Structure 1
Amino acid sequence: MSDQDQSLSQEQQKEVLSKYDKESGSRELSGILAKIVFFGLLAFSLYQVWFTVFERLPAQIHRPIHLGFGLGLVFLLYPATKKKQARGKLSWYDYILSILGVGVGAYWPIQYNELVQSAGQISQVDFYVGILAVILILEATRRAVGLPITIIAALFLAYAYWGRQMPGFLIHRGVDLDNLVQSMYFTTEGILGTPLAVSSTFIFLFLLFGAFLVKTGVGQYFNDLAVTLAGRRTGGPAKVAIFSSALQGTISGSSVANVVTSGSFTIPMMKRLGYRKEFAGGVEAAASTGGQLMPPIMGAAAFLMIEFIGIDYWSIAKAALIPAILYFTGIWIMTHFEAKRLGLRGMDEEELPDRKEVFKRLYLLAPIFAIVFFLASGLSVILSAFYGIITTILVGLLRPEKFRKLYILAFVAGAIGYPIIKTVLAGGMPADLIQNSLVWGGMITVLVSYLFDRNFIDSVEALVDGARTALGVVVATAAAGIIVGVVTKTGLGLKLANSLVELANQQLLLTLFFTMIAAIILGMGSPTTANYVITSTIAAPAIILLGVDDLPAHLFVFYFGIVADITPPVALAAFAASGVSGGEPIRTGVNAAKLAIAAFIIPYMFVLSPELLMINTNAVELIWALFTAISGMIAIGAGMIGYWYRKTYWIERVLAVASGLALIYPHAVSDIAGLVGFAALIAAQFFYKKEKIGEPVVKANAKA
């Protein structure tokens, strides 16, 4: 790809996604089969929406139906090998596996009464269905998500069965096959456990919300807004990538998808203005990976935290806000210093979109603010997502200028008409007035819109796209349920936690370090949902044993599971960025990891200093912690890049990094030492500024 390349086309984006993101490597179907899959995906979304509104089914019926949809569609869409993907045709066994997947999902609803009354005893037919469910889940996970999580789930099953043969502290009495199958598929502590429960409620609705945002044009608007706000600044395109990717995280739970979506636009821009290929790819990979850390809508694993530690999502999002801001601040600082070092200019006025037109479309951000409002008002996460979808549809209706007034009128009529009708029929205002007025206003508006524009088609496409995106999550959470089930059945989690603490000699920092290594290794090539499930059941308890609260401990493993996407040697987000930039993959990964150095430091900060998570703190402590943390980020950024107000000597770089780490470490003595070093660096930079020891490496290059 030459330096003058323009943004990637849709086909090129699909090619890069398919190469680096297993969940995007589906078949391109045609004919009757394409229609079957289309209506299958549509039915999946409609069922989930119906369940959200009415929620009348018990968990043992709803979760298997969710799983059955996922398995049936995965075997139709994802081929057994890459060679078969290129052909776009199904093998005979794909049809059989798809039917069996649907059958396994349907078994629980059909046999519900018998299974509930069986008191934990399973029949011979139940046994074979359970065995089939495990095999199908492992194969579907291999196809849609990849080998790492499949192998880990299989190893956990082997560990449960051959427990007596395990060495040392891993030994246990073993679980016979009947008992293992029963616990895996006929309880809510295995496949049908917490991970799948979260997938079938929170995660699906938020993925659907993201699909509706894309159809509304919010993704492209994020790019336009980022260019308008940051494009003219020093090294503008890199800052556009950071800003855009932080926003894109609200509509995608995949680092690789974020990279390809926003990187197809920002990476060519960065290259044209003078950034090296590997640095341009590194900026996008680091920023896109951070999208999953940015509230209000974080990566899918954040929804698992709700169930695992028993707190509401708003508390998690609020706690994650300052660390996310520090993460993106760190990347912003380093790209700024790199741009100054290279003498790179911002974008020219004619390269920027029309500012007035961009700000006229600020209403497109309404769904994001709506989600925040609904969560803050105490509404459940799943209903917040549902109302967020309704808000997105309503926002989409404002696109056609000629119908805008009509839609506003229809919404007002529906919102006012509901309480009037309710008052006449029931006598008295309803208690849930605001919620139902919004729903009725939205329904009337959507109904009117279908008569006048293509909003209906957009909505159907969003429902299909949302379900397609969810397939990988469905099978990954089912496989993760196998792991959780084995950990629960064998007590492995506590054993590993105790051994980890012993290995670290009961030292918190060493325990955190070992946990970080485990999370990064497990996260290489695995989706963050599965990675979080494993580390939260095995590694997080070790941190909690040393007196750390649940939320910091779980956020710690959550962070490093995500950072694995940019940590060489297997850095999928960085590799995807190199596919867009044309750079060398490992070097791109090294640049991404260097730029995201904050992500390797911040988790230690909030474990040692929980006030960064707004836990048990006051405004003064919070402001001081933020001040020292940001100052530390500036110093570390200058040391890593080798430039501040001018090029730095090697001794200044060492002092900068040391001062930065001292400022970041939450302790009064280290803060004072860090501030002294920080002040000395600023003085040295200005005092020796006239010596011109650091001319820009390149001058501002000509416009492409």
Structure 2
Amino acid sequence: MGWLDWPLAVAGAASSLYLLVFFDEIFIRRVGFPQPIDYIIGMIGIIMVLEATRRTMGETLAVIGAAALMYAIFGPLLPGDLAHRGYGIVRLVEHLYLGTEGIYGIALGVVATFVFHFVLFGVLAQASGLGQLFIDLASIVAGRYTGGPAKVSVVSSGFFGMISGSPVANTVTTGAFTIPLMISKGFSPRFAAATEASASCGGQVTPPIMGAAAFVMTEMLGVPYNELILIAIIPAAFHYLATLYMVHLEARRLGLSGMDRDAIPQFRDVLVRSWHLFIPLIVMVTMLLMKFTPFLAAFWGIVLTILCSYIPMVMQALGLGSRMDRASALTPRRLTRALETGAQQSIAITAACACVGFILGVTTLTGMGFKFAGVVLDSAGALGVWITALDPLGVLQQNSVTLFFALIFVAMACILMGAGLPTTPTYIILAAIAAPALQQLGVPLLATHFFVFYYGVLADITPPVALAAYAASGISRSDPMQTGMTAFRLSMGKALVPMMFIYAPVLLFIDFTVYDFALALSSGVLSIVALSVAYIGFFQAPVQRWEKWVLSLAGLVLVAHDLLAVGLAGAVVAAILLRNAARARSDAARAGASPSRRAPP
């Protein structure tokens, strides 16, 4: 630490401790009448949040937070719909520092109560050997198939995502094993790193422990967390299905084989060695499903992780469990190191959520959210009128076209915002300013938030701020920007999945019926297949250019929750895939029938 870090640390701590030590004086005895010292300490707190965000998350989010403050102050000088009455520094500090819609809002409250404890549980579980257990299980499940190491990467990332909502932690943990293995089997370093980064982002939508954004969503929607993890099952399944299938097609295109048989562990050996590591996870999931609070479930998960790590030592001391791994014990030194790592991993998300409080506070203070919603609705409505006027048959309805373009605009905003911010800030900001626009078009609130959340998940693989892709490129020694672009391309197979939540909210168990759910599920899987084949350009043989365009269009139509549209688009996809398969068989037969030619000396 430099000489400047100590006074900054004291100033940052003092700005929070001031509210605790003088709580009664500020919020009870003279509530509504702040004193100059309150504003001074509040200004120091705001500056410290910006500096902490700059150090932990980079300059992008800090600049956006500062721009929000400038927007609140200089509103009268702005043109058109951006203008507002303007607020002085004193009013702004009072709103952001002394209120509950700024720094100390929902986002920071969720981090302090839920997110920190689940991050700590994930770190302790990893330190006790659960990460390696997931890699072994993934190798058993997927290692022997075509492109085995890449599929192991996807499956192990899914397993590890169950205990860690951090894409970067997921990438580093599983990627240290899977990325070198993929490269050794013929994948390029760039594609290997991109595969790991794309798969690792799914941890934020994978129950039971999702990312910080999921905990914020429970507070914003008022939906119990045990219900949210059940709702998130289908989105998580679609995420991994899309990534897994694109990896499969790429492996088929390159003609890559699976892992060597002797490199795949035996299930019995893995279970005998590491069965005790499942106990904390099972207990925690059971408590969540039994409607205990996430805080209590995480607490017992942490306690049991520490206690169960000593089971191998106890068993071996009793003359049992000789094959169990004693290295999993969280000794005082390893426990201290894990606690330190958990605190460090929480710093970045804490600073980010505090800085996002500036944006949310300014949004509520200036009405920026309503203005954004109005712009989206007006633009989508104008396009809807124009498109329906060009429809001579009257097939298109203006409301449907308006909704479609509104979804496109919000999706573009999510992707652009995600190009500079991580997932959680992206979700919080867009949920506050974009979700109201979709809600006015009759979209269920839960579907709206999942729409924004799912697109926000792409933030960690969206250049230029693609943190998961950069972490993976460090392992593979590939170009970070190219790795991020490849990871983003690998995620395009699931780009239309959020649209399905809007047109078929039954996937989120809204107005559930078996028929609607089966139709939505089948059309969603077929859409992922069509888009994956189109983007990879290979099925059983190379896909022609016009086939790519038709498959992309059919994948778009499959999003519609309509039996006729799904049937026609599904028939088109099936016809192209069957044609491709027939062409592959014909090429193989022709190659087998052609006489072999002796190579020239």
TM norm structure 1: 0.76
The DSSP-based 3-state class of the residue aligned with 1:504 is helix
The verdict on how the C-alpha distance between 1:694 and 1:395 changes in structure 2, with shifts beyond 3 A counting, is farther
Partner amino acid for 1:177? Answer: I
The verdict on how the C-alpha distance between 1:256 and 1:462 changes in structure 2, with shifts beyond 3 A counting, is closer
Q: Deviations over 1:377-399 (max 9, x none)?
A: 11112112112222322332223
Partner amino acid for 1:274? Answer: G
Find 1:594's aligned residue among 462, 465, 489: 489
Residue 164 of structure 1 aligns with which residue? 76
Partner amino acid for 2:21? Answer: I
Q: CA deviation at 1:526?
A: 2.1
State whether residues 632 and 659 of structure 1, in contact with CA within 8 Å, keep that contact through their aligned partners in structure 2: yes
Residue 48 of structure 1 aligns with which residue? none
Find 2:336's aligned residue among 436, 460, 472: 460
> C-alpha distance in 1, partners of 2:581/2:88?
72
Aligned residues: 565
- After TM superposition, the structure 1 = structure 2 runs for residues 398-547 of structure 1, keeping only pairs within 5 Å, are 398-400=311-313, 402=315, 455-505=331-381, 507-547=402-442
Find 1:560's aligned residue among 433, 437, 455: 455
State whether residues 646 and 693 of structure 1, in contact with CA within 8 Å, keep that contact through their aligned partners in structure 2: no
> C-alpha distance in 2, partners of 1:215/1:539?
39
Q: CA deviation at 1:665?
A: 3.0
- After TM superposition, the structure 1 = structure 2 runs for residues 7-156 of structure 1, keeping only pairs within 5 Å, are 90-116=1-27, 117-156=29-68
Q: CA deviation at 1:576?
A: 2.8
Q: CA deviation at 1:272?
A: 0.8
> C-alpha distance in 1, partners of 2:459/2:330?
41
> C-alpha distance in 2, partners of 1:307/1:134?
24
Partner amino acid for 1:226? Answer: A
> C-alpha distance in 1, partners of 2:257/2:249?
12
> C-alpha distance in 1, partners of 2:101/2:320?
47
Residue 634 of structure 1 aligns with which residue? 529
> C-alpha distance in 1, partners of 2:552/2:317?
55
> C-alpha distance in 1, partners of 2:258/2:579?
28
- Computed over aligned residues only, the root mean square deviation of the Cα atoms, in angstroms, reads 2.4
Residue 263 of structure 1 aligns with which residue? 175
The verdict on how the C-alpha distance between 1:168 and 1:686 changes in structure 2, with shifts beyond 3 A counting, is closer
Q: CA deviation at 1:344?
A: 0.9
The verdict on how the C-alpha distance between 1:163 and 1:688 changes in structure 2, with shifts beyond 3 A counting, is closer
State whether residues 53 and 348 of structure 2, in contact with CA within 8 Å, keep that contact through their aligned partners in structure 1: yes
Matched, 1:254 2:149: no
Partner amino acid for 1:480? Answer: V
Partner amino acid for 2:337? Answer: E
Find 1:293's aligned residue among 195, 200, 205: 205
> C-alpha distance in 1, partners of 2:126/2:329?
18
Residue 375 of structure 1 aligns with which residue? 288
Q: CA deviation at 1:403?
A: 5.3
Residue 472 of structure 2 aligns with which residue? 577
> C-alpha distance in 1, partners of 2:255/2:464?
31
Residue 429 of structure 1 aligns with which residue? none
Q: Deviations over 1:247-290 (max 9, x none)?
A: 22234333233222211211111111111222212211110112
Partner amino acid for 2:351? Answer: V
The DSSP-based 3-state class of the residue aligned with 2:76 is helix
Partner amino acid for 1:389? Answer: I
The DSSP-based 3-state class of the residue aligned with 1:547 is coil
Q: CA deviation at 1:203?
A: 0.8
- Between stretches 297-306 and 464-473, larger displacement belongs to 464-473
The verdict on how the C-alpha distance between 1:468 and 1:590 changes in structure 2, with shifts beyond 3 A counting, is closer
State whether residues 218 and 224 of structure 2, in contact with CA within 8 Å, keep that contact through their aligned partners in structure 1: yes
The verdict on how the C-alpha distance between 1:581 and 1:109 changes in structure 2, with shifts beyond 3 A counting, is same
Find 1:316's aligned residue among 228, 245, 252: 228
> C-alpha distance in 2, partners of 1:370/1:623?
32
The verdict on how the C-alpha distance between 1:148 and 1:276 changes in structure 2, with shifts beyond 3 A counting, is same
State whether residues 431 and 449 of structure 2, in contact with CA within 8 Å, keep that contact through their aligned partners in structure 1: yes
The verdict on how the C-alpha distance between 1:678 and 1:499 changes in structure 2, with shifts beyond 3 A counting, is closer
Residue 244 of structure 2 aligns with which residue? 332
Matched, 1:224 2:136: yes
The DSSP-based 3-state class of the residue aligned with 1:129 is helix
Q: Deviations over 1:495-535 (max 9, x none)?
A: 21112211222711211111112122222242322222211
State whether residues 476 and 530 of structure 1, in contact with CA within 8 Å, keep that contact through their aligned partners in structure 2: yes
> C-alpha distance in 1, partners of 2:253/2:196?
19
State whether residues 106 and 219 of structure 2, in contact with CA within 8 Å, keep that contact through their aligned partners in structure 1: yes
The verdict on how the C-alpha distance between 1:639 and 1:163 changes in structure 2, with shifts beyond 3 A counting, is closer
Q: CA deviation at 1:241?
A: 0.4
Q: CA deviation at 1:594?
A: 2.3
Q: CA deviation at 1:570?
A: 4.1
> C-alpha distance in 1, partners of 2:463/2:341?
31
TM norm structure 2: 0.89
Q: Deviations over 1:437-483 (max 9, x none)?
A: xxxxxxxxxxxx9xx97544443333222212111122111111121
Matched, 1:625 2:520: yes
Partner amino acid for 1:330? Answer: A
Q: Deviations over 1:103-137 (max 9, x none)?
A: 11211121111101212211111111111111111
Q: CA deviation at 1:345?
A: 0.8
State whether residues 326 and 598 of structure 1, in contact with CA within 8 Å, keep that contact through their aligned partners in structure 2: no
> C-alpha distance in 1, partners of 2:370/2:312?
55
Q: Deviations over 1:598-618 (max 9, x none)?
A: 331101111111011111112
State whether residues 647 and 693 of structure 1, in contact with CA within 8 Å, keep that contact through their aligned partners in structure 2: no
Partner amino acid for 1:186? Answer: L
> C-alpha distance in 2, partners of 1:537/1:694?
58
> C-alpha distance in 2, partners of 1:359/1:621?
39
State whether residues 242 and 284 of structure 1, in contact with CA within 8 Å, keep that contact through their aligned partners in structure 2: yes
State whether residues 566 and 593 of structure 1, in contact with CA within 8 Å, keep that contact through their aligned partners in structure 2: yes
The verdict on how the C-alpha distance between 1:296 and 1:217 changes in structure 2, with shifts beyond 3 A counting, is same
The verdict on how the C-alpha distance between 1:129 and 1:232 changes in structure 2, with shifts beyond 3 A counting, is same
State whether residues 540 and 554 of structure 1, in contact with CA within 8 Å, keep that contact through their aligned partners in structure 2: yes
State whether residues 499 and 559 of structure 2, in contact with CA within 8 Å, keep that contact through their aligned partners in structure 1: no
- Between stretches 119-128 and 655-664, larger displacement belongs to 655-664
- Between stretches 398-407 and 131-140, larger displacement belongs to 398-407
Partner amino acid for 2:346? Answer: A
Q: CA deviation at 1:407?
A: 12
Residue 556 of structure 2 aligns with which residue? 661
> C-alpha distance in 2, partners of 1:185/1:651?
57
The verdict on how the C-alpha distance between 1:123 and 1:694 changes in structure 2, with shifts beyond 3 A counting, is farther
> C-alpha distance in 1, partners of 2:269/2:436?
51
Residue 188 of structure 1 aligns with which residue? 100
> C-alpha distance in 1, partners of 2:552/2:24?
64
Partner amino acid for 2:221? Answer: I
Q: CA deviation at 1:239?
A: 0.3
State whether residues 662 and 673 of structure 1, in contact with CA within 8 Å, keep that contact through their aligned partners in structure 2: no
Q: CA deviation at 1:494?
A: 1.3
Q: Which runs of 5+ in 1 are unaligned?
A: 1-89, 409-448, 697-704
> C-alpha distance in 2, partners of 1:649/1:145?
43
Q: Which runs of 5+ in 2 are unaligned?
A: 385-401, 592-601
The DSSP-based 3-state class of the residue aligned with 1:260 is helix
Q: CA deviation at 1:545?
A: 1.6
> C-alpha distance in 2, partners of 1:576/1:391?
30
- Between stretches 382-391 and 123-132, larger displacement belongs to 382-391
Residue 393 of structure 2 aligns with which residue? none
The DSSP-based 3-state class of the residue aligned with 2:236 is helix
The DSSP-based 3-state class of the residue aligned with 1:399 is helix
> C-alpha distance in 2, partners of 1:484/1:590?
30
Q: Which runs of 4+ in 1 moved over 6 A?
A: 404-408, 693-696
Q: Deviations over 1:6-27 (max 9, x none)?
A: xxxxxxxxxxxxxxxxxxxxxx
Partner amino acid for 1:497? Answer: A
State whether residues 120 and 182 of structure 1, in contact with CA within 8 Å, keep that contact through their aligned partners in structure 2: no
